[in-house]
Amino acid sequence: MSSEPLTTRRMGVGRGLAFVVTGPSGAGKSSVINRVMEQLPNLAFSVSYTTRPRRKGETDGVDYIYISHEKFTSLIDSSEFIEYTTYLEDRYGTSRSQVERVMMSKKDVILDIEINGARSLRQAGLGKCTIVYIFIAPSTLDRLGERLRARGTESDTAIAARLRIAEQALADLDKFDYLVINDDLDTAVDELRAIIAAERTRIRSANH
Ligand code: 5GP
């Protein structure tokens, strides 16, 4: 055996892994992601740009970068988005410079994006990154509705629209690598952490 450590034969940390987490609004993606990031090192969150107003409890630059529609358009023109979408009334986009910065820092990146964003990434790829697609959802749409109502941040009309989008997103489920059910936060956190750990120990890229 050569003296080169065997760890270099694994995908490992900082070898270009991107974890794309998709799932309906209200699925609890942010809570799961935040907990996993507290527990796993070398993982950076891709903070998206959005034109949606900041919700109570959110922080600019941490949850999102909140910008105007005009600024969003100018960022499209300067090719700052790896992908972007319009979701209900607002626009959301993944920052190219931010993802590149994470890759340079030899960390893995985790993205929280909706189904159209995941679709765009599947077509365009992410440079040399291996992308792992993870879908997070509660076990039923009824539970999702309960969560959205309990969150109390959207009107009944906005909740109904989010549920319709969630139902449509399920049609794409078989294009994902993993499904995490978030009925119980601890279980969902364990599952996402296990997926990341498994992908980091992988030898061959699953995208081959
Ligand atoms: P919310 O308004 O509930 O924070 O987000 C609405 C939806 O937009 C969520 O499903 C979230 O995953 C998605 N989203 C957040 N950032 C981005 C992004 O940069 N690109 C895309 N395509 N979707 C995003």
Domain 11-201 fold is: Rossmann fold (3.40.50)
Per-residue model confidence as pLDDT tens digits over 174-190: 999 999 999 999 999 99
Torsion angles phi and psi, residue 92, rounded to 5: -135, 140
Q: Quote the pTM value.
A: 0.91
With a cut of 70, say whether residue 124 has pLDDT above it. yes
pLDDT the model gives residue 1: 60
Please tell me the residue having the least CA distance from ligand 1 atom 4.
25
In ligand 1, which atom is closest to the CA atom of 81? 19
Q: What is the CA radius of gyration of the chain?
A: 17
Residue 203 has pLDDT above 50, yes or no: yes
**Amino acid at site 105:** S
DSSP string, 52-66: SPPPTT--BTTTEEE
Atom 14 of ligand 1, nearest CA residue: 113
Cα 17 to Cα 200: distance, rounded to the nearest angstrom: 8
Given pLDDT bands bounded at 50, 70 and 90, which one contains residue 5? Answer: confident
Nearest atom in ligand 1 to the alpha carbon of residue 88 is 6
Mean pLDDT of 117-139: 93
Mean pLDDT value across residues 43-71: 96
Cα 63 to the chain's mean position, in Å?
12
User: How far, in Å, from the CA of 117 to the mean position of ligand 1?
Assistant: 8
More confident residue, 205 or 149: 149
The alpha carbon of 112 and the centre of ligand 1 are apart by a number of angstroms equal to 6
- pLDDT tens digits along 71-117: 999 999 999 999 999 998 899 999 999 999 998 898 999 999 999 99
Euclidean distance between CA atoms 64 and 144, whole angstroms: 22
Give me the pLDDT at residue 19, please: 97
Instruction: List all residues whose CB is within 6 A of at least one atom of ligand 1.
Output: 25, 48, 52, 83, 85, 87, 92-94, 112-114, 116-117
Mutate to test the pocket of ligand 1, among 21, 62, 92 (most ligand atoms within 8 A of CB): 92
Taking the centre of ligand 1 as the mean of its atom positions, its distance from the CA of residue 7, in whole angstroms, is 35
Residue ranges per structural domain of the chain: 11-201
Distance in Å, CA 61 to ligand 1 centroid: 15
